Amino acid sequence: MHYKFALIASTVFILSACGGSGSDDTPTVNGNKIPILSVADIPSELSKGQTIELTATASDKDGTITSVVWQQTQGPELISGPLEAVTTSVTLLNAQSYKPVNYAFSVTATDNEGASSVKTLSFIARNNMDEISAARLLHQATMGPKFSEIQNAQGLSEQQWLDKQIALPINYHRDYLVKLNDDDDFKYISRIDAWWKAVMQSDDQLRQRVAFALSEILVVSDENSALRGQPEGMITYYDLLLKHAFGNYRDLLEDVTLSPIMGTYLSHLGNEKADDTLNIRPDENYAREVMQLFTIGLEELNLDGSAKLDAQGNTIATYGQVEIEGFARVFTGWTFADSETFKRKSRDYIKPMEAFDEYHSSKQKTLLNGEVIPQGYAAEESLQIALDNLFNHQNVAPFITKQLIQRLITSNPTPQYVERVANVFIDNGAGVRGDLAAVVKAIYLDDEARHFGSVLNYQGKIKEPILKTVQFWRNLDAKSPAGYYKTWNLINSYGQGPMQSASVFNFFRPDYQTAALRNKGIVAPELQIANDATLIGTMNALYASLVWSTAEARSDLNSNSIYIYVQDDMNVLEKNGVSALLAQYNTLYFAGAMSSDTRQALLDLDAYFNEEQYRERVSYLLYMIAISPEFNVQY
């Protein structure tokens, strides 16, 4: 590959010896003082495409400087071979890749006796995001970006934005949980209200987005279950996803396993050892799902997520009934924390479950890959061994990382993309397995995610219905005068709601295909809930929100109704015209991908209204954007 660079070398100056008297601690070589050399400081991080000057100052106390030579020691070639110059100007390559580039240069000053001094400079060159690249990243990495957030991200590199997000304090949903309507205790709607407040108001948007993705992998639900009456427990479960979103998957797996919410949902809370006389058998529910859904899947996988095949070309099962029974025994003896006895339960849905060893099966337990827990091990020991066994299985890296890629970036990642991220799960570069912060960064910083040299034929993913509303509501400051978000019928409107799936298999399966997609060999998980009822419900909900519920259209606001506020958009339309507003919408809602056909359709719609109908024009433009095909795909 040939690189272009700007290079301006100044004339080499021969510097004379400096006079003076007094003590001198300049190092000498065979009685000859070595040159005194210094270099001008360079920032440790620079922008790709930036032009900088490499400047050296050299002097010699007992002779003259005969040469000052710069040489590049690391990075794409900007200086070809040794270059005699005191100052040289170089332009850092503006390569189309998110990856930072490490540069290093050395400069050597030599005197008339042949003595020399050497100094080095090193720095990193990163991309600075423009408006469109910032919008694309934030569409993927937030619950739906505000225009101000896109603007604030400009000038940062993708990695800098991710690092800043990962470093932010956690906005736990528990902090938003309040009692509504003067209730004596928290109700189901309190949890939903807290979810809306947290995802809309929190600045740790990357963490909120990753936790939402994890909630669709490590699934619990209070839809049509006894957990509907446990809003504090449910929100505590969501908060543990937030806590571990950038932590270690092994720690997350343990907290999920010991959550009384998960224990209730998948029935390993109160699970007892076998007792033939009472016809008691260990419950196998969690044993199955922790393998099938939370760690390894049903089939042995290659690192790129593809299925391994035996000599006959058949897939290879990851586990069988023996392993199910082994793990079922592991998950016996656990119940609510602070229970008086195993049978007299505290019903504490907040604290992690605790073990009663007398109810734990001490029988031998066969785990994955032939590992065995010998007879006699207690509940806590068995649990730690079993979770390590699951965590270290070769399937976990491709199985979990592929699902995270699907939830965050694209429904159809290439095998190479999956393998690259799976390798980071296996080793974060410092020998640590399961580092989710490293995994998340690898997912977002991959060339396929950033659309640099992508080989994908089918980029992106269908947007989840509820996330579309989150984005509009975040941008348009949606709120009720009372400050609450009472949204009772999310499933009817969107086919989904936070922790409201009909089963542990989530709202949609990661391998879901419509009939039309089977021939193309691609999947579109979100289309599993795109039935007639959901599509109509979502369109109606968006119309009600964006057209009927604009605060500017009303003189009297209902205290519990949720309104959007479009005055800022009206101001842009009035002062700068529809083209300026659509340019802003192109960035905000399409990440720069609005087609000319869509733009023309929006202009045609706007032409139906009188010019001074600013509120109506904005509302209907927003609604048409909401139902447009291009907005409904995250590229």
Given this model, what pLDDT does residue 97 score?
64
Helix orientation angle between 131-141 and 578-590, rounded to the nearest 10 degrees: 50
| Coil/strand/helix, residue 62 | coil
Q: Is the pLDDT of residue 22 over 70?
A: no
- Cα separation, 73 vs 21, whole angstroms: 38
- CA 213 from chain center: how many Å? 8
Q: At 54, list the tokens.
A: 């490499």
pLDDT of residue 6: 34
Say which residue, 286 or 125, is predicted with more confidence: 286
With bands split at pLDDT 50, 70 and 90, how would you rate the model's confidence at 187? Answer: very high
Give dist(CA 220, CA 232) in Å, integer: 14
Query: Which residue has tokens 């706007």?
Result: 606
Share of the chain above pLDDT 90, in %: 87
Determine the 3-state secondary structure of 262 from DSSP. Answer: helix
The number of angstroms, rounded, from the C-alpha of 453 to the middle of its chain's C-alpha atoms is 21
Return the closest-CA partner of residue 589 out of 628, 546, 536: 628
Q: In the prediction, which pLDDT does 17 show? A: 43
Question: DSSP letters along 499-538, please?
Answer: T--SSTT-SS-TT---HHHHTTT---GGGGG--HHHHHHH
3-class DSSP assignment, residue 56? strand
Predicted local confidence at residue 439, as pLDDT: 98
275 vs 184, higher pLDDT: 275
pLDDT of residue 45: 83
Question: Collapsing DSSP states into helix, strand and coil, what is residue 298?
Answer: coil
Structural tokens at position 395: 């399937």
Average pLDDT, the chain: 93
Report the chain's terminal Cα–Cα distance, integer Å: 29
Instruction: Inform me whether the pLDDT recorded for 555 exceeds 80.
Output: yes
- Determine the Cα–Cα distance for residues 255 and 287; give it in Å rounded to an integer: 15
Please determine, for residue 12, whether its predicted confidence score (pLDDT) is greater than 60.
no
- pLDDT higher than threshold 80 for residue 33: yes
Please tell me the distance from the alpha carbon of residue 302 to that of residue 129, in angstroms, as a whole number: 35
pLDDT class for 3, splitting at 50, 70, 90?
very low
Instruction: Give the Cα separation of 116 and 60 in Å (integer).
Output: 10
Highest mean pLDDT among 18-27, 180-189, 211-220: 211-220
Mean pLDDT of 31-48: 91
| CA 483 and chain centroid, separation | 29
The answer, yes or no, to whether residue 453 has pLDDT greater than 70, is no
Secondary structure (3-state) at 1: coil
pLDDT tier at 583, thresholds 50, 70, 90: very high
Instruction: Supply the pLDDT for residue 325.
Output: 98
Crossing angle for the helix pair 188-201 and 205-215, nearest 10 degrees? 140
pLDDT digits (tens, 9 = 90+) for 313-354: 999 999 999 999 999 999 999 999 999 999 999 999 999 999
pLDDT of residue 15: 42
Q: What confidence category does residue 230 fall into, taking pLDDT thresholds of 50, 70 and 90?
A: very high
**Residues 466-479 pLDDT 10s:** 999 999 999 999 99
As a whole number, mean pLDDT of residues 500-526 equals 95
Whether residue 5 is predicted with pLDDT greater than 60 in this model: the reply is: no
Structure tokens at 289: 């799902």
Structure tokens at 251: 């720690």
Write down the pLDDT at residue 455.
56
Structure tokens at 181: 């309507």
Strand 101-111 with 116-126, pairing = antiparallel
Condensed to tens digits (0 to 9), the pLDDT of residues 128-166 reads: 899 999 999 999 999 999 999 999 999 999 999 999 999
- CB proximity list for 262: less than 8 A, separation 6 or greater: 218, 220, 237, 256, 268, 286
Task: Please write the tens of the pLDDT for every residue from 370-384.
Answer: 999 999 999 999 999
Predicted pLDDT of residue 181: 79
Would you kindly state where each structural domain of the chain is located, as residue ranges? 7-126, 249-394, 530-634
Q: 271: pLDDT confidence band, cut at 50, 70 and 90? A: very high
**Tokens 């956690």 -> residue:** 170
Residue ranges in 245-332 assigned as alpha helix (H): 249-258, 260-265, 285-292, 321-330
CATH of 7-126, one of 2.30.40.10, 2.60.40.10, 3.40.30.10, 3.40.50.10090: 2.60.40.10
Taking 70 as the threshold, does the pLDDT of residue 424 lie above it?
yes
Please report the pLDDT score of residue 8 as a whole number. 36
- In angstroms and rounded to an integer, the radius of gyration of the C-alpha atoms of the chain is 31
Q: Residue 459 pLDDT more than 90?
A: no
Helix (H, G, I), strand (E, B) or coil at 333: coil
